[in-house]
A = this chain, B = another copy of it.
């Protein structure tokens, strides 16, 4: 089992968007890419998915950028997983063979558990102020 870079990027960027929530400013790709150390063009694709799944909204043009579509408390890690990968835990198995059916059941239970857990993490919990921000020059 593994968590992809893509997911990690998505969560970090959403955390940054949560920090900017309510400030009235739109976050541009370059800002998000630099702040969270994510390749800008790849990030554009990820933001696209988050947008089509209704987690964020975007605006084009010279004053464009991205904002959260809902308040941080209403967006969970589970929502992000669903938007970016389609499901919380992707099962690659074919579930054939003598134990296939049973294993599918087991992975399903684990997936459900993971769903519960990830629904418990919302963006306001992720978007804590980073202590390193205090060390401005």
> A residues near B, CB below 8 A?
1-5, 7-9, 11-12, 15-16, 19, 35-38, 77, 81, 85, 88-103, 106-107, 110, 113-114, 117-118, 121, 126-128, 130, 132-133
Give the Cβ gap from A11 to chain B, nearest Cβ, in Å.
6
Q: Is B12's CB under 8 angstroms from A103's CB?
A: yes
Q: Is A77's CB under 8 angstroms from B90's CB?
A: no
Give the Cβ gap from A35 to chain B, nearest Cβ, in Å.
5
**Which residues of chain B are near A16, meaning CB under 8 Å?**
97-99
A96 to B8, CA, bound (A): 10
**Which residues of chain B are near A121, meaning CB under 8 Å?**
106
A93 to B8, CA, bound (A): 6
Q: Is A110's CB under 8 angstroms from B106's CB?
A: no
Q: Is A97's CB under 8 angstroms from B5's CB?
A: no
Partner of A37, one of B1, B94, B126, B130: B94
Q: Is A88's CB under 8 angstroms from B1's CB?
A: yes
